A = this chain, B = another copy of it.
Amino acid sequence: MSLFKQSISSSEQYSRANIDSLLALANELKSLDSLGRVPQCLTGRVMSSLFFENSSRTYCSFVAAMQKLGGSVVSLPIESSSFASKGESLFDTIKTVDSYSDVIVLRHPDPNAISVACGATEHSVVLNAGNGAGEHPTQALLDVFTIHSELGRIDDLNVVLVGDLKFGRTVHSLSKLLGKFNNVRLYCVAHDSLQMPNEVLKSLDSVSVSLHNELTKELVSEADVIYVTRVQKERFSTEEEYEAVKGKFCVNASLLSTAKPAGQMVVMHPLPRNEELSTDLDSDPRAAYFRQMRYGLYARMALLIETLGASLLSTCE
């Protein structure tokens, strides 16, 4: 099914065909941008960003994606918004925003907010930019675009997920999306208290998954992708426990000495990072985490074009 006029709440909504089409489009946009020929195909369209919690990286990426295609953005810092301060319901707020928008990008701490939004809109598609402990489907999309661009394939991969796999919605959405590809093996490496939740594991029946509590040299040397997520001190009951754990899952230059060479493996991270990802990796060609954000720009541009039904051809510059 085409994504035209589809709101996106979960990464499970993308079919394999959708992903192939989005990645091809993202790749074309990347080429066009390098030639300075990005089509202004969303001219006259309006995106509203409704961020009920802070997420500067996701926010900026969406705004830049919309504007590079000629569209415009109405942003409202929710703190200073009179919607919330006058006690308006989320339904009424969405009705208001829907009156002038073509697409609403919603970030909300409540996992159910996204379905309220989808139910209230009449003119706009809604894109989930993170709903509490739920999903983050555009992050998952940019992650597979990164893997595809860097390694040339998504099928037949050893993917090592490291860090906080319990609360990191990024790895939940990514795992579900990788489940649509063939021969993906997931190695979940985390402290016992931060392992991948059962609900997510259950949805991964077509994937080979194994759980580990150490990042061994064997895992590192087999990995095509090491995907690191931030470990937050607040998740641990004592500072000592955190200190004891953090070193075990730290990805740095010396760890990568046994890994596959550049071109055959990448290190990814959704950022921001704490100590789990060392800056001594920053200049290693296998460190893909800064490039990952740029892939995100093109992945979001592609998603905007497909959900809004624009054409690259009709209104090129």
Measured CB to CB, the residues of A under 8 A from B are: 36, 38, 40, 43-44, 46, 48, 54-57, 59-61, 63-65, 67-68, 70, 72-74, 76-77, 79-83, 85-88, 91-92, 95-97, 99-101, 123, 271-274, 279, 290-291, 293-294, 296-297, 315, 317
Q: Contacts A95-B290, A272-B87 given; indicate if A76 touches B56 (C-beta within 8 A).
A: yes
Q: Least Cβ distance of A112 to chain B in Å? A: 18
25 contacts between A and B (CB under 8 A): A40-B43, A43-B70, A43-B317, A48-B60, A55-B82, A56-B82, A56-B96, A57-B83, A60-B76, A60-B97, A63-B74, A64-B74, A64-B101, A65-B100, A67-B73, A67-B74, A83-B272, A86-B272, A87-B272, A88-B273, A91-B279, A95-B290, A96-B271, A99-B293, A100-B297
Q: Contacts A97-B60, A100-B61, A317-B44 given; indicate if A80 touches B82 (C-beta within 8 A).
A: no
Q: In the complex, A296 Cα to B100 Cα: how many Å?
A: 9
Q: In the complex, A68 Cα to B60 Cα: how many Å?
A: 20
Q: Note all chain B residues with C-beta closer than 8 A to A82.
A: 54-57, 272
Q: Contacts A88-B272, A272-B88 given; indicate if A293 touches B77 (C-beta within 8 A).
A: no
Q: Is the CB of B81 within 8 A of A54?
A: yes
Q: In the complex, A291 Cα to B43 Cα: how many Å?
A: 24
Q: Note all chain B residues with C-beta closer than 8 A to A79.
A: 80
Q: Note all chain B residues with C-beta closer than 8 A to A317.
A: 43-44, 315
Q: Least Cβ distance of A135 to chain B in Å? A: 19
Q: In the complex, A227 Cα to B59 Cα: how many Å?
A: 37
Q: Note all chain B residues with C-beta closer than 8 A to A56.
A: 76, 81-83, 96
Instruction: Name which residue of chain B comes closest to A89, CB basis.
Output: B279
Q: Note all chain B residues with C-beta closer than 8 A to A101.
A: 64
Q: Note all chain B residues with C-beta closer than 8 A to A63.
A: 74
Q: In the complex, A272 Cα to B91 Cα: how many Å?
A: 11
Instruction: Name which residue of chain B comes closest to A296, CB basis.
Output: B99
Most chain B beta carbons < 10 A, residue from A60, A67, A92: A60
Q: Note all chain B residues with C-beta closer than 8 A to A73.
A: 67
Q: In the complex, A19 Cα to B42 Cα: how many Å?
A: 32
A-B CB proximity, top 4 nearest: A67-B72, A54-B82, A64-B100, A99-B293
Q: In the complex, A40 Cα to B72 Cα: how many Å?
A: 12
Q: Contacts A100-B61, A290-B99, A294-B100 given; indicate if A46 touches B67 (C-beta within 8 A).
A: yes
Q: In the complex, A72 Cα to B60 Cα: how many Å?
A: 12
Q: Is the CB of A96 within 8 A of B57?
A: yes
Q: Is the CB of B67 within 8 A of A272?
A: no
Q: Is the CB of B96 within 8 A of A80?
A: no
